[in-house]
């Protein structure tokens, strides 16, 4: 489930019941997710008020009145539920909020994370410290993307999954954005930048495609209609490429152990890697 759009959708769902509310009771029904919970987890939350609920990449951040921040990551299979049903299997954490709502965290695979850190030291939190720009932020554009990709020799698809390059993009939307931008997932990340790190046109197209794909996914998530999302290429091996005028067929390929879906016709590696560019300075 959770890449940036899904996490943002969760944030928007939780915000009304958590923002300004107090943790009345915290139930930890299992001592660990991907990592053990921080010590005295429930006690440190109880009685605290949520001053703000924000998102950074795939993390949800609850700013607490105790000057600590609750970090939540959904991993591969995490989700929140707002109801009063009895806890079932894989319901690992239950928050009873003063707003009257019960927030239940469910995570079958337990790749999720819950952590507490002093808000003043939030920036030093390892996963956040090295995290790249927010793709929906104003400062993320072709130039920023090119800078982040310059000098990376991995395939561009693999680079997009690296949270240090762009925050919040995962396996689905990496494939989606590359298709929309008409870029091959196999070309080197550095191929969208000049040797000096300046953006090539592909960098602008890709940055715009990332924004567009994420925004439309958020809109779909937020829509009350719970219909299964339709993807351009993800999980569509053998189907026709959605690009207008393209007669290609989606293929699947393995990159760094993850599935990539793309159209070999309209996503041909543009530039054969080394396009000699005129003298450029660093």
Q: Using CB under 7 A, list all residues that contact DNA.
A: 1-3, 6, 34, 57-58, 73, 75-76, 89-90, 108-111, 113, 126-127, 151-155, 158-159, 161, 163, 170-172, 229, 256-259
Whether 3 is a known active-site residue: answer: yes
Least Cβ distance, residue 145 to DNA (angstroms): 15
Asked if 181 and 158 touch (Cβ cutoff 8 Å), the reply is no
CA distances from 244 to 20, 91, 216, 247, 281 (A): 47, 44, 18, 9, 38
Q: Which is nearer to DNA, 1 or 42 (CB)?
A: 1
Least Cβ distance, residue 74 to DNA (angstroms): 7
**DSSP class of 33:** S
**DSSP class of 83:** S
Whether 258 is a known active-site residue: answer: yes
Q: Which is nearer to DNA, 144 or 158 (CB)?
A: 158
H or E segment at 142? helix 142-149
Whether 58 is a known active-site residue: answer: yes
- Judged on CB neighbours under 10 Å (0-12, 13-18, 19+), 38 is middle
Q: Which of 167, 240, 179 is nearest to 209 (CA)?
A: 179
Least Cβ distance, residue 255 to DNA (angstroms): 8
Least Cβ distance, residue 266 to DNA (angstroms): 22
Asked if 245 and 167 touch (Cβ cutoff 8 Å), the reply is no
Least Cβ distance, residue 41 to DNA (angstroms): 17
CA distances from 278 to 70, 194, 253 (A): 50, 10, 34
- Report the SS3 class of residue 191: helix
Q: Which is nearer to DNA, 21 or 167 (CB)?
A: 167
Among residues 11, 48, 55, 58, the one annotated as catalytic is 58
Q: Which is nearer to DNA, 158 or 250 (CB)?
A: 158
> Six-digit token pair at 126?
């390892």
Q: Which is nearer to DNA, 48 or 75 (CB)?
A: 75
Whether 215 is a known active-site residue: answer: no
Q: How far apart are CA 1 and CA 221, in angstroms?
A: 11
> Six-digit token pair at 201?
């046109």
Among residues 22, 51, 110, 258, the one annotated as catalytic is 258
Q: Which residues are catalytic?
A: 2-3, 58, 258
């Amino acid at each position: 489930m959770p890449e940036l759009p899904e996490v943002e959708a969760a944030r928007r769902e939780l915000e009304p019941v958590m923002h300004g509310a107090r943790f009345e009771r915290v139930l930890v029904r299992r001592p660990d997710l991907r990592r053990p919970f921080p010590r005295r987890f429930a006690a440190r939350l109880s009685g605290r008020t949520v001053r703000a609920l924000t998102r950074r990449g795939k993390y949800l951040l609850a700013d607490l009145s105790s000057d600590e921040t609750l970090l939540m990551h959904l991993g591969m299979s995490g989700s929140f539920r707002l109801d009063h049903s009895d806890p079932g299997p894989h319901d690992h954490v239950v928050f009873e909020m003063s707003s009257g709502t019960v927030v239940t965290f469910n995570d079958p695979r337990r790749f999720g994370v819950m952590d507490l850190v002093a808000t003043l030291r939030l920036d030093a939190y390892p996963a956040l410290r090295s995290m790249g720009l927010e793709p929906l932020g104003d400062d993320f554009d072709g130039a920023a993307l090119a800078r982040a990709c310059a000098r990376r020799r991995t395939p561009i698809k693999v680079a997009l999954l690296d949270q240090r390059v762009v925050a919040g993009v995962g396996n689905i939307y990496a494939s989606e954005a590359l298709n929309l931008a008409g870029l091959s997932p196999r070309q080197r990340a550095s191929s969208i930048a000049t040797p000096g790190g300046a953006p090539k046109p592909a960098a602008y197209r890709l940055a715009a495609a990332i924004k567009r794909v994420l925004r439309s996914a958020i809109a779909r998530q937020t829509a009350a209609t719970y219909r299964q999302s339709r993807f351009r290429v993800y999980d569509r091996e053998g189907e026709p490429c959605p690009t207008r005028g393209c007669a290609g067929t989606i293929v699947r390929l393995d990159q760094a152990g993850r599935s990539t879906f793309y159209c070999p016709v309209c996503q041909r590696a543009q530039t054969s890697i080394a396009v000699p560019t005129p003298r450029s300075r660093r």
